[in-house]
Homo-oligomer: A and B are copies of this chain.
Amino acid sequence: MQVKDMAEGALVRGHYLITRKELIPFSSKPGRFLLMHLADKTGEIRAIVWEQGEELAAQIATGDVVAVEGKVALYRDTLQVVCSSVMKPLPGQYSPEDFLPASRRNRELMLTEFQEIIGEIADDDCRSLLEAVFVPDFLQAFSWAPAARSMHQAYIGGLLEHTLNVVRLCQSVADLYPEVDRDLLVTGALLHDIGKVEEYKVKAGIEITDVGRLIGHVVIGHDRITEIIAGFGGFPEEKALRLRHMLLSHHGQLEWGSPKEPQTLEACILHHCDNLDSEVSKFAEILAAAGRGERWTPYDSRLGRSLFAGDGDFFEPAVDTAGGSERN
C-alpha cells in the first residue's frame, strides 16, 4: 500500500524508507516505545512500535528500508501506522524506483543512443578509452545514477540524461566552431561526470558516499581515466593530458570545485555546456513543480529569486494541519 492511500483503519503491508527514528519514554510506565516516520515516493507517515521498540531500534537506522505490517489509526488528528511487524527486507525485495523518481525518458533508448555516440567516435584512442570505461557493469550503474543529490536531474537515470544533453550541446558548438576537435570534445562530454557513480549511493534516497564527500566526483573521474590510460601503454601523451584536464576543469571555476580552470578550447566548451544543461534543467524543474494557477513559483533559495510561470495552473500549497480539527 502506498502512503498516499493510507486512510484510518486501513491494513498496511509494504516496504518503506525510515526517515526518522526515535525512542520515546512511556509516561505511565518504565521503558520506551519506538516512533518512526515511514516514506515512499508518494508521501510520509508517522509509525509507532509499542512492543520491543528498543530492541528493534538497535537494528535499524534512518535511511534503511523496512518491510512493515500494521494498521492505520488516528492520533490527535494525525494518521499513524501502529506496526505489528517491522523486518529487514531481503535483497531484491524492493527497488529504488519505489522510493525515488526516475527520468521521464526511456532508459533503454537513452542507453542505445549513448552507445551509438561512442560508436561514432572516429579517433581510435578516444573510442578505446570509452569502451574501457563503459564496460557493461559500469554502464549499468551509470544508467541508474542521478545527476545530483538535489538541484537538477536528481532522479534515477538523471546522470545518463544529463550526459546525453551535454553531448548534444557540445556537438552543436562543434558545428559552429570548425577549429574544435570534435572527437576529443564528445569523449570528454561522455566521461565528464563518471565520478558521480561513486559519489552517490542510491538506496531508497540519494546519499553522498564518504569518498564523494572527501574526494569528490571531479577527482574520482579524473583518477579513473588516468589509471585506465596508464594501463594502455601507448596512449598519446598530449591527448591524455587534454582529456584529464577536461574532467578536472569541467566545473569551470575554482570556487565551484574544479582545481584548475579550463585552459583549452574543448575544456571551455565542455564546462559551458555542462553548466547550461544544469541551469536549464533546474529552471525547468522549478517551473514544473509550481503547479496550476500560480503566476510565480515560491522563492527558491538556491537561485535567490522566484520564477515567473505566468499562465500556469493552480498551485497546491503544502497542508499544515496544526490545530484545525477541533469541531466534532
Binding site for B on A (CB under 8 A): 22-29, 33, 35, 48, 50, 74-78, 165, 168-169, 172-173, 175-177, 179, 210-211, 213-216, 218-219, 222-223, 226-227, 238, 241-242, 244-245, 248, 254-265, 268-269, 272-273, 275-277, 279-281, 283-284, 287-288, 295-296, 304-308, 310-311, 317, 319-321, 323-328
Contact = CB atoms under 8 A, between A and B. Distances in A.
A327 B33 contact: yes
A244 B275 contact: no
Contacts of A268: 279-280, 283
Contacts of A215: 222, 241, 244-245, 248, 260
B179 A168 contact: no
A122 to B, nearest CB: 19
A279 B272 contact: yes
A169 B276 CA distance: 11
Given A27-B325, A269-B280, A276-B276, A214 B319 contact: no
A76 B324 CA distance: 11
Contacts of A78: 323
Given A176-B280, A263-B305, A263-B307, 5 more contacts: A24-B324, A176-B277, A215-B245, A268-B283, A272-B276
A318 B165 CA distance: 43
Nearest to A240: B211
B328 A216 contact: no
B24 A308 contact: no
B326 A75 contact: yes
Contacts of A175: 168
Given A77-B27, A280-B268, A320 B22 contact: yes
Contacts of A264: 214, 307-308, 310
Most buried by B among A168, A172, A261, A264: A172
Given A219-B259, A305-B263, A26 B327 contact: yes
Nearest to A29: B328
B168 A172 contact: yes
A210 B244 contact: no
- By Cβ-Cβ distance, the 7 closest A-B pairs, closest first, are A28-B328, A24-B324, A27-B325, A172-B172, A214-B245, A272-B276, A268-B283
